[in-house]
Amino acid sequence: MEILDVYDIHRVPTGRTFVRGTKPENGYYLVAQVIVFNTKGQMLIQQRQANKVGWPNRWDVSAGGSVQAGETSQQA
Protein backbone atom coordinates (compact mmCIF):
# COMPACT_ATOMS: atom_id res chain seq x y z
CA MET A 1 0.00 0.00 0.00
CA GLU A 2 1.39 3.38 -1.01
CA ILE A 3 0.70 6.45 1.12
CA LEU A 4 0.87 9.85 -0.61
CA ASP A 5 0.82 13.39 0.78
CA VAL A 6 -2.00 15.79 -0.12
CA TYR A 7 -1.04 19.29 -1.33
CA ASP A 8 -3.01 22.47 -1.91
CA ILE A 9 -3.12 24.25 -5.28
CA HIS A 10 0.14 26.11 -4.41
CA ARG A 11 2.03 22.85 -3.76
CA VAL A 12 1.98 23.38 0.01
CA PRO A 13 1.52 20.18 2.05
CA THR A 14 -1.84 20.06 3.84
CA GLY A 15 -0.69 17.56 6.49
CA ARG A 16 -3.14 14.97 5.14
CA THR A 17 -2.35 11.73 3.32
CA PHE A 18 -4.30 9.23 1.23
CA VAL A 19 -3.84 5.73 -0.18
CA ARG A 20 -2.80 5.44 -3.83
CA GLY A 21 -5.70 4.19 -5.90
CA THR A 22 -8.17 6.40 -4.08
CA LYS A 23 -8.84 10.06 -4.81
CA PRO A 24 -7.33 12.72 -2.51
CA GLU A 25 -10.08 14.77 -0.91
CA ASN A 26 -9.81 18.49 -1.70
CA GLY A 27 -6.23 18.45 -2.88
CA TYR A 28 -3.50 17.29 -5.18
CA TYR A 29 -0.50 14.96 -5.09
CA LEU A 30 2.96 15.04 -6.65
CA VAL A 31 4.29 12.89 -9.44
CA ALA A 32 7.83 12.81 -10.82
CA GLN A 33 8.93 11.89 -14.33
CA VAL A 34 12.30 11.25 -15.90
CA ILE A 35 12.45 12.23 -19.56
CA VAL A 36 15.54 11.12 -21.47
CA PHE A 37 16.91 12.90 -24.57
CA ASN A 38 19.90 11.87 -26.66
CA THR A 39 22.47 14.23 -28.20
CA LYS A 40 20.24 14.63 -31.29
CA GLY A 41 17.40 15.94 -29.13
CA GLN A 42 15.34 12.79 -29.62
CA MET A 43 13.15 11.73 -26.70
CA LEU A 44 13.14 8.15 -25.41
CA ILE A 45 9.55 6.88 -25.23
CA GLN A 46 7.92 3.52 -24.62
CA GLN A 47 4.59 1.95 -25.42
CA ARG A 48 2.46 1.16 -22.37
CA GLN A 49 1.30 -2.42 -21.86
CA ALA A 50 -2.04 -3.43 -23.34
CA ASN A 51 -3.35 -4.49 -19.91
CA LYS A 52 -2.66 -1.13 -18.18
CA VAL A 53 -5.79 0.34 -16.62
CA GLY A 54 -4.95 3.89 -17.69
CA TRP A 55 -4.07 4.65 -21.31
CA PRO A 56 -3.24 1.10 -22.53
CA ASN A 57 -1.05 0.81 -25.65
CA ARG A 58 -0.34 4.56 -25.62
CA TRP A 59 3.13 6.09 -25.92
CA ASP A 60 4.68 7.42 -22.70
CA VAL A 61 7.94 8.87 -21.36
CA SER A 62 10.50 6.47 -19.96
CA ALA A 63 9.89 6.57 -16.20
CA GLY A 64 7.69 8.20 -13.62
CA GLY A 65 5.52 7.69 -10.61
CA SER A 66 3.87 9.13 -7.55
CA VAL A 67 5.95 10.85 -4.88
CA GLN A 68 5.65 8.91 -1.62
CA ALA A 69 4.55 10.51 1.65
CA GLY A 70 7.45 12.39 3.23
CA GLU A 71 9.45 12.63 -0.02
CA THR A 72 10.16 15.68 -2.13
CA SER A 73 9.86 15.53 -5.92
CA GLN A 74 13.68 15.69 -6.09
CA GLN A 75 14.05 12.70 -3.75
CA ALA A 76 11.52 10.68 -5.72
- Give domain status of residue 75, yes or no: no
Say how far apart CA 32 and CA 70 lie, in whole Å.
14
pLDDT surpassing 80 at residue 62: no
- Give domain status of residue 24, yes or no: yes
Say how far apart CA 72 and CA 32 lie, in whole Å.
9
- Which tens digits make up the pLDDT trace of 2-60? 999 999 999 999 999 999 989 888 999 999 988 999 999 999 999 999 998 888 999 99
Range of the domain at 11: 3-66
Total domains present in the chain: 1
- Give domain status of residue 20, yes or no: yes
- Give domain status of residue 51, yes or no: yes
| Predicted pLDDT at 23 | 87
Q: What is the band of 61 on the pLDDT scale with cuts at 50, 70, 90?
A: confident
